[in-house]
Chain A
């Protein structure tokens, strides 16, 4: 399998549930990202990892907890979410981190609905 793969594709969870989103990249990239896309809003950068080290936590509430066990895998652990957290969550990877010329490769996203 190639590219960036996200699971699950769709997730419905209650506000008291705990769930995790998974992302895997098969591109040999060094950087991985979590983005959130809410309706009619731009993509918002949530977390950035470079070589398994977190380099960005963009004022994201603590109910979102990322984990990067190795350079190929990225998780987003979710707990006690709110209905306004319903959105498309996109994972991405790029070859290098600090390079303006580096484009990111995105996964297909997880459509999250919090009820």
Chain B
């Protein structure tokens, strides 16, 4: 049973609008969450993180929100740009190196 789920395999958004990527988890022991971005033929690259003591973390156009009671996190990209088109993975950890990854959401930003 997957402990980290990204239920939307793909998402299309118009350039300049907001992209919202969602991630749900089941393990209440998870206390640190990461988002990675992956372009074709490249490895995942770290994007942004959040610890369970926060409910929001912002870095430029990227904001991650954490709702612990709902076991849900989301990544907001605003404004979305064509270069943001990639696969986005969320990952969760219980404080160890054993990050559990979701299956990814493919974002396509339309020009």
Contacts and interface: CB of A to CB of B under 8 A. Distances in A.
A104 B96 contact: no
B111 interface: no
Q: Determine the main DSSP class of A at the interface with B.
A: loop
B31 to A, nearest CB: 6
Contacts, number: 62
Given A42-B2, A42-B4, A43-B89, A104 B99 contact: yes
Interface stretch (A11-19, A74-82, A106-114): A106-114
Given A41-B103, A42-B4, A105 B46 contact: yes
Contacts of A106: 36, 43-45
Given A100-B31, A100-B51, A101-B51, A108 B95 contact: no
A100 B93 contact: yes
Nearest to A55: B97
Contact of B46 (A48, A103, A107): A103
A103 B34 contact: yes
B94 interface: yes
Interface of A: 4, 6, 9, 31, 33, 40-43, 45, 48, 56, 90, 92, 94, 97-109
Max chain A C-beta neighbours (<10 A), residue from B44, B89, B103: B44
Top 7 nearest A-B pairs (CB, nearest first) are A106-B43, A100-B32, A100-B95, A43-B101, A103-B46, A42-B101, A108-B43
A98 B2 CA distance: 23
Given A45-B98, A100-B94, A101-B49, A90 B32 contact: no
Contacts of A104: 46, 99
